[in-house]
């Protein structure tokens, strides 16, 4: 076994590998960029080496820097994690030439599966079922359009060299094919330095089922399946194992097909064979990921195995600890990906500092893989994942119920997250009942996003009570119990003591009047009527609240937003809400609210990669204006209304900051 390894990755990936290495007594070396100088994975490792600027192409994707760091620190092997250089055959070969063990499959196996089109040819020879499509080398737009017409719409354009939803487009009709192809090729080129694509038949209600395979020098087996069908923008959101409604015969057939795929390329180590399955039970090979997957924890949960330990054992020349007939499925596991993103804005990534972070506590049923801590910053340079939360329980219903509760208890302030959507998904009757396919989120958007409805009276009451407690805490005599200024009986001549607190919830303005009663309590005038209330700060900093006949606790986090406004984020009853405090003395707030938005701004830092308009053009509401590349994805910004383009502030290739004015717009 190795005594020291270098982990050529970052974030929760590196932290996950470090945990197993530490348990096995293996020393670890982390690498980090400028943006990750104070990151959690750097603190966890035994040693850490700086490898360059924040952009991955100047740090985590520079093989020479990583190999030099491994040699300088005396590491014997390199674990690539997943992502970055994990599926780079050239990097695996460079490691071997430098006397380092690459903890992954042989370079030839990586290269064989690195091109989706070449992989399809290999799988066809191995008699693994394939989706109808075009996987050829001729990439002329005219030919690809003809092949799409032959296959029949809808079709799926996919980057041949990569995955993760990048370089992927669903095309519903022939007239939309050219634009979709250009976008897919552009995104593929940026993500993988290769714009080669393939075109396949798009199944309208498919399931995404993948098989975990593992091989050593003499044997290959499968550790059952994972269902990864719940997706947004072709990227996974929820994974579970075993797959719901999976019959034993079908599991065996898919497992054996996956093993045949691995054997066809002389595979060793951990890998995943991904299939797309129709509702009738038929399945087709989609791709093989020649690495450990983000969702591997659910497989570990139901099998009781540590796949990173298996990787280390096999890479050091050992054998897998179990045979196929010794593997068993125990219970059900669900993993959710907690992202810094805004589901209500088409899952736009969110950047910022994690000023408050409360993740679920780990225990017998719960595992949390994360690479961040409170105070860390989610930057535009890397994937916006905050954590993976994994639940293992006796059955699927129990696991989903537990996960929904955990998502309701998760608290993040500083970035927008998908926690509310994850809770809604895990408690949705159709999903709990076994309705699973890749179109689930879009099909049930109305009910899933209803959970993110406007704030109610309870939210306004909590925020107002928090504001009143703040005033009390900040009183100059707050520490003097005998000061008359601390009296809370609301005494006034000819009037009842009261305060007015104004809030903004989206476009809605709400004023809450808090009357201070002589009894020491409060009466709140809320949009839905008056309620009596009481509040005090608990020892843990939370608020103990009485509202009407209800008593509960709430966490309230006050934060100065990037625009200078003050936001209050509330966590109570398994829900979260964010309200903006309205300062009646800030006239600029009203001027901004009353004026029509005259510009299109960058929603996050990124690079302009395509301009579809120029100054003087007339556009209609919803018409694409430009494409912004940020956080490894393309984001198309559209016209907010019918109007005319007055000016375009940036050119293709220019970097822009969050909030930058990109297009000056004059509404009709």
Q: Cβ distance 556 to 543 under 8 Å? A: yes
99 or 83: which carries more pLDDT confidence?
Answer: 99
DSSP for 465-527? HHHHHHHHHT-TTTT-TT-GGG--S-EETTEE-EEEEEEEETTEEEEEEEEE-TTS-EEEEET
DSSP for 537-576? E-TTS-EEEEETTEEEEEEEEEEE-TTS-EEEEEEETTEE
Of the candidates 151, 153, 203, 208, the one whose C-alpha atom is nearest the C-alpha of residue 180 is 153
Q: Cβ distance 596 to 610 under 8 Å? A: no
H or E stretch including 68?
A: helix 63-73
Mean pLDDT value across the chain: 91
Give CA separation, 89 vs 80, 180, 202, 428, in Å.
12, 29, 30, 42
pLDDT value at position 594? 42
- The helix/strand/coil state of 185 is helix
Helix intervals (H) in 321-436: 396-409, 419-426, 429-432
Tens-place pLDDT, residues 144-178: 999 999 999 999 999 988 766 788 999 999 999 99
pLDDT at 596 > cutoff 70: no
pLDDT value at position 131? 83
Structure tokens given for 216: 């050593």
pLDDT at 521 > cutoff 90: no
CA pair distance 467, 472, nearest whole angstrom: 9
pLDDT at 277 > cutoff 60: yes
Of the candidates 551, 556, 561, 550, the one whose C-alpha atom is nearest the C-alpha of residue 571 is 556
CA pair distance 635, 627, nearest whole angstrom: 6
pLDDT range class, residue 516, cuts 50, 70, 90: confident
- What 8-state DSSP symbol labels residue 104? S
Structure tokens given for 223: 């550790």
What are the backbone angles phi and psi of residue 32, rounded to the nearest 5°?
A: -150, 150
CA pair distance 178, 304, nearest whole angstrom: 48
Sheet holding 606-611, edge to edge: 633-638, 624-630, 606-611, 655-656
**HEC assignment per residue over 256-314:** HHHHHHHHHCCCCEEEEEEEEECCCCCEEEEEEECCCCCCHHHHHHHHCCCHHHHHHHH
Q: Cβ distance 466 to 568 under 8 Å? A: yes
pTM of the model: 0.83
Sketch out the chain's domains with CATH numbers. Answer: 4-103 (3.40.50.20), 132-201 (3.30.1490.20), 207-449 (3.30.470.20), 457-476+488-581 (2.40.128), 596-667 (2.40.50.100)
CA pair distance 668, 609, nearest whole angstrom: 27
Give the percent of the chain with pLDDT over 70. 93
CA pair distance 312, 633, nearest whole angstrom: 33
- The helix/strand/coil state of 231 is strand
Catalytic residue selected from 10, 169, 251, 291? 291
pLDDT value at position 266? 95
| Catalytic site includes residue 291 | yes
Cβ contacts of residue 537 below 8 Å, gap of 6+? Answer: 469, 473, 543, 544
pLDDT value at position 589? 47
- What 8-state DSSP symbol labels residue 130? B
pLDDT range class, residue 451, cuts 50, 70, 90: low
| Range from 199-213, 407-421, 462-476, 604-618 carrying the lowest mean pLDDT | 462-476
CA pair distance 609, 634, nearest whole angstrom: 9
pLDDT range class, residue 592, cuts 50, 70, 90: very low
């Amino acid at each position: 076994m190795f005594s020291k390894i270098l982990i050529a990755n970052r974030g929760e990936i590196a932290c996950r590998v470090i945990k197993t290495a530490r348990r096995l007594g293996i020393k670890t070396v982390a690498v980090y960029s400028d943006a990750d100088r104070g990151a959690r994975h750097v603190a966890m490792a035994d040693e850490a080496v700086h490898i360059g600027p924040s952009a991955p192409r100047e740090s985590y994707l520079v093989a020479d820097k990583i190999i030099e760091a491994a040699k300088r620190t005396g590491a014997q092997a390199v674990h690539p994690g997943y992502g970055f250089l994990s599926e780079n055959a050239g990097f695996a070969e460079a490691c071997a030439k430098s006397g380092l063990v690459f903890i992954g499959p042989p370079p030839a196996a990586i290269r064989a599966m690195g091109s989706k089109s070449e992989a399809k040819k290999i799988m066809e020879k191995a008699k693994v079922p394939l989706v109808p499509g075009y996987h050829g080398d001729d990439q002329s737009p005219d030919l690809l359009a003809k092949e799409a017409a032959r296959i029949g719409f809808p079709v799926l354009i996919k980057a041949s060299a990569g995955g993760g939803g990048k370089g992927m487009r669903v095309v519903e009709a022939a007239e939309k094919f050219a634009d979709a192809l250009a976008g897919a090729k552009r995104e593929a080129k940026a993500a993988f330095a290769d714009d080669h694509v393939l075109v396949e038949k798009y199944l309208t209600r498919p399931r995404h089922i993948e098989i975990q395979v593992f091989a050593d020098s003499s044997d290959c087996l499968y550790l059952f399946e994972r269902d990864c069908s719940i997706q947004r923008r072709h990227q996974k959101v929820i994974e579970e194992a075993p797959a719901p409604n999976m019959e034993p015969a079908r599991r065996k057939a898919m497992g054996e097909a996956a093993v045949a795929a691995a054997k066809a390329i002389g595979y060793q180590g951990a890998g995943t064979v991904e299939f797309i399955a129709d509702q009738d039970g038929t399945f087709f090979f989609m791709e093989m990921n020649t690495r450990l997957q983000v969702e591997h924890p659910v497989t570990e949960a139901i099998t009781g195995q540590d796949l990173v330990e298996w990787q280390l054992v096999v890479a050091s020349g050992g054998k897998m600890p179990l045979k196929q007939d010794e593997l068993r499925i125990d219970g059900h596991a669900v993993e959710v990906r907690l992202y810094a993103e805004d589901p209500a804005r088409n899952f736009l990534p969110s950047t910022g500092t994690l000023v408050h972070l409360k993740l679920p506590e780990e225990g017998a049923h719960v595992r949390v893989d994360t690479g961040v801590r409170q105070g860390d910053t989610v930057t535009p340079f890397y994937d916006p994942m905050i954590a993976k939360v994994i639940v293992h329980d006796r059955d699927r219903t129990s696991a989903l119920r537990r996960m929904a509760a955990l998502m309701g208890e998760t608290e993040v302030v500083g970035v927008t997250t998908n926690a509310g959507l994850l809770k809604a998904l895990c408690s949705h009757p159709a999903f709990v009942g076994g309705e699973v396919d890749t179109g689930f989120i879009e099909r049930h958007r109305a009910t899933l996003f209803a959970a993110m409805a406007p704030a109610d009276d309870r939210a306004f009451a909590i925020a107002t009570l928090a504001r009143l407690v703040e005033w009390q805490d900040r009183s100059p005599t707050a520490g003097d119990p005998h000061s008359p200024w601390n009296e809370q009986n609301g005494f006034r001549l000819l009037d009842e003591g009261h305060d007015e607190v104004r809030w903004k919830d989206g476009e809605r303005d709400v004023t809450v009047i808090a009357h201070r009663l002589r009894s020491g309590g409060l009466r709140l005038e809320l949009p839905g009527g008056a309620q009596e209330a009481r509040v005090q700060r608990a020892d843990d900093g939370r608020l103990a609240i009485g509202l009407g006949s209800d008593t509960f606790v709430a966490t309230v986090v006050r934060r100065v937003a990037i625009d200078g406004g003050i936001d209050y984020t509330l966590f109570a009853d398994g829900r979260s809400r964010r309200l903006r405090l309205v300062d009646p003395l800030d006239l600029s707030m009203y001027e901004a609210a009353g004026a029509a938005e005259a510009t299109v701004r960058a929603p996050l830092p990124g690079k302009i990669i395509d301009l579809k308009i120029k100054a003087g053009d007339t556009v209609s509401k919803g018409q694409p204006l430009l494409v912004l590349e940020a956080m490894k994805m393309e984001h198309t910004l559209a016209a907010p209304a019918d109007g005319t383009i007055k000016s375009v502030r940036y050119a293709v290739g220019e970097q822009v900051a969050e909030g930058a004015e990109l297009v000056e717009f004059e509404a009709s």
